[in-house]
Chain A
Amino acid sequence: MDCRRWFFLLCMGLCATGIAACETGDQRARRDATPLAGGASTNRNRAPIVVFAAASLEAVFDEAASRFAARPDGTEVVIHAAGSQILATQLLEGARADLFASADAHQLDRVRDVGLFVAGTPFATNSLVVVTPLDNPGHVQTPIDLARPGLRLVLAGPDVPAGAYAREALQRLGIAGAVDAGRVSEESDVRGVLAKVALGEADAGIVYRTDLGSALADTVRTIPLPAAADVRATYWIARSSDTPRSVAADGFTAWLLSTEGRSLLAEHGFSSP
């Protein structure tokens, strides 16, 4: 009997850890605990500023952070990257960040509307492409093929900026109805879309052009969207309305908008607004 009780307790324990592990799901979301704790005590000038950045900005912002920190007037910058909608939710739930770089205006509005952030500035734009696995198992030749029944399409969720833009593109193509059929697997950020396509599990997905600079890019085939469906994604950056680091934060924004910042963004495939 004792043995069985121990086993039972073990089971319940594992059940609990399993569920706990599940609920935090997105490992990137887990990371935010650290910068938040640090962000609360930013009275010291040497403390880094915290930038919440859209997932598609992760690579370019990592590099921007190191370049900015290396400048004589620079500050250390901590980047926390996730889907913009996750970042907005975290900010609404009390997470602290000095800057928020969102992949669309809507997610920024969510935190601006309640006064957490001041008006933002558009600092970059991006465009979308269709990607398929290299062997193209779904035989996707043109974007119209995405409407074919049975095709395994992966998009970012409708709340994710990349997902919202993708749906807009599909609407412009006249095939928005096809993706509402409940056959689309939804990822919480655009990197998940690229991963599912690169793994070959999905037939096609829609991602940012700039995502193709990542390591996974060699494992997918790209199909451009026609001009009529070329939705332009605009990135906004805004400063927290109550940050004690407003000078440093504004310095980072100014640097992004400077020639040096723009050329870095351009290197990563972003355009100017």
Chain B
Amino acid sequence: MRLRRGDGGEGAAPSVFAVLAFVGAAFLVLPLAALVARAPWTRAAALLADADLRSAIVLSLGVATGATVLAAFFGLPLAWWLSRGRFPLRGALRALVTLPMVLPPVVAGVALLAAFGRRGLLGGALEAGGLTLPFTTAAAVLAAAFVSAPFFVRSAEAGLSAVDPALEAAAASLGASRWRIMRTVTLPEARRSLTAGLVLCWARALGEFGATITFAGNVRGTTRTLPLAVFSALQRDPDLAVLLGVLMLGLSLAVLVALRGEEVRP
């Protein structure tokens, strides 16, 4: 028989913990419950029928997906390199590519302006090539990718590092090329972390606000994603903002459910 923690009371928490835990849980749950409670359900249909809102939803899904695709396309090789590469300052590089994850998003937006803005580091070169990023959907995608890609890279790196090199060696002994080893052994072995990374990345991209409004602006139908629409709606019609908030809450919940099968399980 397996002894469960707490069976004999040895691992039981001090009772003050119960109180603190309750307060903590209430603090986290109450605002969300209040959001749902306040949602103007009777006006929901009318509010959601708004064409601008639908364009914000479509745009948001597109931007988040685009950012995730970008993050995966460049992030997987980067994660590979971070997990397998042997080069000086690897730890420093890892810290640097993680930084956007903890950076205030508005700072990320300013940084993007400094790099890709019209007067940014590469702005002149981009403009010469006929490409002006600010106030375009591409800028919204970049902003979202900048803040969300680290979630994928770090998760993928953890997954790739956990793949048993002995399996890859075995595949090599069977004549598999590097690409084939990656495709048939490494990536399937790291599948859970990769999926979790993609979902987290997508969720973060979907919620992106600060970098987007700073770098990409707030252009209806072009860069006004759902969080920006919430922000704009709050100034005009708080009911709409609440309804959009509930919508995003639902999406976030869906993300958690999607992750449950992959990563939350110990």
Contacts and interface: CB of A to CB of B under 8 A. Distances in A.
Direct contact of A and B (CB under 8 A): yes
Interface of A: 1, 3-5, 7-8, 11-12, 14-15, 18-19, 21-23, 25-27, 83, 85-86, 89, 92-93, 137, 152, 154, 157, 159-160, 182-188, 196, 199-202
A200 B120 CA distance: 10
Contact of A89 (B105, B132, B162, B238): B238
Contact of A18 (B147, B158, B217): B147
A186 B232 contact: yes
Contacts of A26: 231
A239 B196 CA distance: 54
A186 B218 contact: yes
B222 interface: yes
B145 to A, nearest CB: 14
Please name the 8 residue pairs, one residue from A and one from B, whose CB atoms are nearest each other, closest first: A185-B217, A22-B209, A182-B221, A201-B134, A200-B119, A159-B236, A85-B235, A19-B207
B227 A23 contact: yes
Given A18-B147, A200-B119, A4 B222 contact: no
B9 interface: no
Majority SS of interface residues in chain B?
helix
A7 B158 contact: yes
B39 interface: no
B220 A11 contact: no
B70 to A, nearest CB: 18
B121 to A, nearest CB: 13
B53 interface: no
A15 B204 contact: yes
Interface residues of B, number: 48
Nearest to B103: A18
Given A25-B209, A183-B219, A201-B113, A8 B151 contact: no
A85 B134 contact: no
A182 B220 contact: yes
Contacts of B224: 186
Nearest to A9: B264
B234 A89 contact: yes
B119 A85 contact: no
Given A21-B105, A185-B223, A11 B118 contact: no
Interface of B: 101-102, 104-106, 113, 117-119, 132, 134-135, 147, 151, 154-155, 158-159, 162, 193, 196, 200, 203-204, 207-210, 213, 217-224, 227, 230-232, 234-236, 238, 263-264, 266
A196 B135 CA distance: 11
Contacts of B221: 182
Nearest to B139: A201
Contacts of B232: 157, 186, 188
A21 B151 CA distance: 17
Contacts of B210: 21-22, 25
A22 B219 contact: no
Contacts of B113: 199, 201
Contacts of B220: 182, 184, 186
Residue among A26, A152, A185 with the most chain B CB within 10 A? A185
A185 B118 CA distance: 15
B264 A8 contact: yes
Contacts of B200: 11-12, 15
A9 B11 CA distance: 23
A185 B235 contact: no
Contacts of A19: 207, 209
Contacts of A3: 158
